[in-house]
Structure 1
Amino acid sequence: PQCQIFLDSPMATRATEVYNNYAHLLSKKCQEYKERDGSIFDFEWFVYTPDVEASKKINEFDRRTIIIAGSGMCTGGRILHHFKNRLWNRKNTVIFVGYQVEGTLGRRLVDGARWVKIFREDILVKAGIHTINGFSAHADQSAIVKWISQMDGLTRIFLIHGEKDKQIILRSVLENVFDQKVHIVEPEEVIYL
């Protein structure tokens, strides 16, 4: 069925501009879209939200809609306004396409929280919450080992992202494979190279 699609993410909007500016480097199909439509992403029901006010107006939209909003862990940004206005309604669905780190709003939702606090207001979660795996940019251990093994002259390895228990396991693997110390960087830690 026909529905409005909002791209409500300044970073994603800028990324689409990059793709449009370099469409000549993309597939023939993308080049055809660009030549025919002026953009590879524009189509009749697709709307970019240029600012916060336009973003907030989406919540006045009462028809079927898809909102594509950033802030991967849901810790800030425009997504919070959509959650505040939509999580309480069972007619809505939130689809996560990336990993949600422990301690974040996104993780609490994925883990099935019944209530969440947004802008100091308790919100009852009635919306469907789903995760589609496979879209995350996070690599698995073997991919990380392969990637690191292609680096010449590597003298130090720092782990700066991920859950602590997973970092400890990865550190052990990397130390065994590369025969060197691997440092897990703590939050706010400063490293002098």
Structure 2
Amino acid sequence: MISGVHFEQTPERLKIVLAARRKWPFLLLYSALVLVWLVMMIGGFVYLIQIVRSGAGYRFVFAVMILVLLAILYRFGRFLLRQWATYLSNREILFFNNEELIVRRPVSIWGNTDVYGLEHASAIYRSGNPPALAFDYGYRHIYFGEALSAESRQALKQYLNQQYFPGQAEPNKA
């Protein structure tokens, strides 16, 4: 048993639930940005309706410009909401099966889910900054388990490397 880690094993997969440490400055910043984004989207739609109903000769062109702006704002909002959900989540869930490593940071029933192929992932290693566990996927460093104690991180790293990355050398990234 590893403190702060909950395991659920089925024949198809291993599910690991870890507590996540909230980063309050980032959560407050992204919450403010989401609020500004929401006000801009609502204001844009209200302004679009006013322009269309105005009867002015330029309303069609101006409405198209506002729709393009709203489309760009919508795409930015999808990114913003994903980042906000990452900092809002209070736990991390890892799923290991024969082909995939899935990292999920849920917020209620929605949240962020990232899927990585195990054949392309490196062995789990301890990261120095931030103090967490990590693995490399191509050029990306994926961090998890930041809220765990140093002993729990070490035990979880040893277990996962023995179980899912046998014979793979651990990267020297401490």
TM-score surpassing 0.5?
Answer: no
Looking at secondary structure, tell me which structure has more helix per residue. Answer: 2
TM-score by length of 2: 0.28
Higher relative contact order (CA 8 A, sep 6+): 2
